[in-house]
Structure 1
Amino acid sequence: MSETTQTSNLPQEREPLSPFAEFWGYFSSNKGALAGLIYIAIVIVVALLAPIVAPHNPAEQFRDALLVPPAWIEGGSWSFILGTDDVGRDILSRLIYGARLSLLIGCLVVALSLVLGVFMGLVAGYFGGMVDTAIMRMVDIMLALPSLLLAIAIVAILGPSIFNASLAISFVSLPHYVRLTRASVLAEINRDYVTASRVAGAGHFRLMVSVLLPNCVAPLIVQATLGFSAAILDMAALGFLGLGAQPPTPEWGVMLADARQFINSAWWVVTFPGLAILLTVLAFNLMGDGLRDALDPKLKQ
C-alpha cells in the first residue's frame, strides 16, 4: 500500500512535444509574429475572394463620382467606402484586387529566386574551388550595386511590364539565397552524417539534395518570408516609377503613382494604397522575425 502511494506521488514525466507543437509554441509566444500571420491570412482570403468581396469592378469608372471622399467624411458615400480616385474608380475594390496581384508577384519572385539561389548555393558550397569562386564573385558584383537600381536597369533593357519587373526583382534577390545556402552547406558538409552517406556510396546529387539541403531549410524559410515583403515593396517601387504594372492595372505602386498630384487635395487617394503596402510589408517582416526565433535553436531558451 505504501509503495503504491509513493509511486503515485512521484512527479509524472511530461510527454515530449511534436516538432510542430514545439515550433508553434515558440512562434505563438511572439505576439508581433502572430499578429502578422493573422493579417497575412486575412489578406490572402480577401485576395482569393476578390470577385465576391470587392463592391465594384476595379476598372469601372463612375463619372458622376470623381474624387468622392471616404464614407465617414462629409460628402462621402457608403457605395464607395474608401472613396474614389480622379476617374471615379472605387479605391477599396482596387486595393482588394491589388492584394491579389501583389501576393501573386511575391510568390513568383520568391519561387524563382529561391530555386535558382538554392541551386547555386548548393553547388558553390559542395564543390568549392573554382566553382565556388566564380559563383561568389558574381554574387559579390551583384551585391555591390543597389538592388533597386539594378532592377531598374534590367527592366529598362527588357521593357516595362509586370512580368519583366518580376524577373528583375527575382534576379536581384538571388545573392541572399546563394550566400545563405552556401553558408549552411559549409557548416554541414563535414558532419558525421554527411561522411557516413558518402561512405555508403551516395552520389553528388543525392548528397546535395537529400542529405545537405534538408538541414539548410530553416534559414531559407525565414529568408523567403522576408523576401516576400521585399518583393512586394520593390514591385510597388517599380510600379510607382512606371516600370512595373501599367495603368489601369490595380497595383498598389501604380495607384500611388497615379495619385501623386492629388496628395494635397484628396489625401485618401494616396493614403490607402500607401497603408496597404506598409501594413503588408510590416506583417511579413514580423512573421519572418517570429519564424527566425522559432526555427533557430540558438535563440530558444
Structure 2
Amino acid sequence: MTQTGKMPPPKSPGFEANLRTIPIDAILPVKQLPVTVPKSQKYGQIAASIREVGLIEPPVVARAAGQDGSFILLDGHVRLHVLKEMGETTVTCLVATDDESFTYNKRISRLATIQEHKMILRAVERGVSEARIAAALNVNIALIRQKRTLLNGICPEAAELLKARHCPINSFRSLRKMKPLRQIQAAELMIAANNYTVPYVEAILAASDATDLVDPAAKKPPAGVTREQAERMKAEMANLQKNIKLIEGSLGPDHLRLVVAGRYVERLLQNDRLARYLDKNHGEILGEFRQIVAGLAQSVSSTEAGSNKGA
C-alpha cells in the first residue's frame, strides 16, 4: 500500500510474452560501437561463444514508434555486430514494452568467480570437453583448468562466504596456503574491506602466524617489508577482525530496532491529516520521515532478495 493507504496500480509487464525473430536490417542501434571494440578480448569471447554454442542471451529491442516493422536496439550491440559479421540475417529478440535506451546489462548481476567455477564443473560432468569450453570463452585451456580446480584446498565455509564475490583467481592461490580457520578469517576481512585483490590477500597471508599456514616452513617475509612493518600489519589485521566480530554482535539488534522505528514512522505517514499537517508546517521533517521509510523499504527488499538468492 502507498503512504495514503491506497493500493498501487498494477504493474504492466516489461516485456512481450514471446520471443520474436526479427530481420537484422529492421533493428536500429541506438549507439555506434567504437572501432576498437571488434579488436577487444570481450568481443572475441562473445564471438567465440556464439560460434560454439549459439546465441544464449537474446538482444533486447523495443518497437520503433511510428515505424511499423522496425525496432530500436536497447541492449546487445556487440552480439548483433557479431551476427552481422557471421552473415546472419535474422535474430531472436526479447521485445521490451518501453523504449528506455539504457543498457539492461546494468540490471544484471555478473557471474562471480566461484559461480563460474561451478558452471565449468557442471559442464565437464555433462561431457563437455575443456577444449570446447575454452573455445566457447575464447581463452586458453590452461585458464579453464585453473577455474575448474579453483576450490581445491579451499574450505567449504570460506567458499560459501566468497561464492557471490568477484575474486581474482590468484587470490585463491594465497588462500590455499592458509589453514581452514585462517581462510575463513581472511574471507571475512576481504568482505569487510570490500577488497578482493591479489595484493590485499597476500597482505593477509603475510600477516598470518606461521601456525595458521598449511606449510609454516615455507613462510617468507614479503619483499620490501621490514619485520616491524609486518608485525604492525599483523596487529592491524587482528584489530580489524576483532571489530568485525563486535559489529556482527550488535548488527542484528540494531537492525531490529531500526525496522520497528521505521514501521512506526511509516504508520504515522499513512495518517492523511498528520501528513498534511507536517507538509504544511514541518516540510523538512516530513521529508526526513519519507527518506527513513524509503530507506527501510529498500533495506528490507535487499535483505529478502539476498535470502531468496541464497535459497
With the length of structure 2 as denominator, give the TM-score of the two structures.
0.24
User: Who wins on radius of gyration, i.e. which is larger?
Assistant: 2
Higher-RCO chain (CA-CA 8 Å, sequence separation at least 6): 1
Which is helix-richer, 1 or 2? Answer: 1
With the length of structure 1 as denominator, give the TM-score of the two structures.
0.25
